[in-house]
Amino acid sequence: MPYSVGLQAASAALLSAGFPVLFTTAIIVLLVIVAITSSLQKDVLDAPSRLPIYSLFAIIPFFRRRYDFMNWGFEATGQSAFQFDLLRNKVIVVSGESARQAFFTAKGLDLTEGFKILSGAIPMVRGVTSDLQTKRISLIHKRLAAVQKNEQLSMLIPSMLEDSRRLMETWGNSGSFDPFNNIYELIFQLTVRSLSCAEISDDPCVVSRLKKLYDTLDVGTTPATVLLPWLPTPAMVQKLWATKEIYDIVVAAITAREQSGVSRNDTLQMLLDSGDEKLVVVGFIMGLLIAGARATGTTACWMLTFLGGHPEWRDKAKAEIEGLLASQNAPSESLSSQLASIPLETWETETPALDSIIRETLRVAQPHTAMRRNLGPEMHIDGKLIPSGSYVVYPFSDVHLNPDIYHDPWKFDPNRQPETKSAYSYVGWGGGKTTCLGQRLARIELKIVTALFLLGFRHCIVDGSGKVTPEPPLPNWNDILLCRPPQGSFSLRYERSSATL
């Protein structure tokens, strides 16, 4: 009797507490039930080892300190593969050469489904950037390939150089900046120029607004917004509002183009002339803008940071670019005009130093974790069962920071020869059936930004107190977007050269 009275009193108190308390209590109860259910599951003999913690305790580390979490998982289980649950989602993390080879070649492992559930940092609009039919995904890939054809890329180079010149002019003759602000902003502008339209890329205010909205998506990507997207947390509400604003900006630009009747030589015009339905056009721009800007932006920030700490490679890259200009008999005009006169083929085939720098930067400072979902049937990787519907994760650090493959792996050394002894020993652009479809555009962006900066400025690395430091900062692989060191720990000090940008 006392127990029933106590329960009645507790129930009455709970009901009188209001909706927020009821809702929070319901979520907590749900999470506890899921945790208990997961802990009671019995694994088959060939299942990967489970982490020695309750699944709920794995959620925050997986999203906030992924590099440390996965290294701990391999160490705690003593195995080359382990599993844990993200609520009702079974996640299996694999490592090693044979697992890497199987991961990048298995037909049943789907990138789109894996990324959607485990990442959550792309603006999700049903039928536009998520829940896409295979046919629509293939069409978007086809259009991305069209953007990177010779004629289209050649046409883009002068515009991208002019954008770079305009933004670099705003930096003044000398000073210092955080590359993860200034250089990332520059790459975002070039990506908008390449993958959207003049209505957006010609308006600095709109581009700035777009960048802030995409930054909101990044900040708002929390474990709750990824795993419980229906939960109206403040972060989820901010993400939804930012997604709506991005959608409105893109749709407004498309509508303005259609109503003007004026044809422009840009990506939007190519999409419209191809007769693509509006959802495909909007999805192409919304999804690829941020996918391209994040990866290329991270690489550009680190390239210039590493070159600031390795003057021998900075000088080698600068001499290579000056050699290109000399061989082209470029007119004695501004640097951006001279660089625009270099043919696309020359940029792609006659820059071995820049190619080596890009390759090494991708190896040491791209904190990728490849994510897939097994769409079936069940399969085995390294003798471990991968059930249908489960998620499989492969950390790039397993190969790129492996001292057995790369001696002194944290050292930035573009002189490294490509490793060929083990399968998929370099996956900077992906591997197997899932390589980066925009890598040709990304390479050109990286090269022209680096070229203009090295010819137009002298730079070095300074620490948080402004003192010149000979060593670049260590990439932070727990930062899954930018590999960014602690903010304020360093910056790039620069001085303008005598040349006109």
DSSP bridge pairs for 392: 92, 372
CA 118 – CA 107 distance, rounded (Å) = 19
- CA dist 397 → 100, 180, 475 (Å): 12, 21, 12
Name the one residue in this structure whose structure tokens are 């559930």. 117
**Strands (DSSP E) along 253-358, which ranges?**
none
CA 428 – CA 410 distance, rounded (Å) = 15
Contact 445, 189 (CB under 8 A): no
To the question of whether residue 436 is assigned a binding role by annotation, the answer is yes
For residue 14, the SS3 value is: helix
Region for residue 242 given its phi and psi (left: phi exceeds 0; alpha: psi -120 to 50; beta: otherwise): alpha
CA 387 – CA 397 distance, rounded (Å) = 25
For residue 83, the SS3 value is: strand
Contact 366, 390 (CB under 8 A): no
How far is CA 109 from its chain centroid? 20
What is residue 177's DSSP assignment? Answer: E
Contact 268, 254 (CB under 8 A): yes
Binding site for heme, by residue number, is: 436
Binding site, by residue number, is: 436
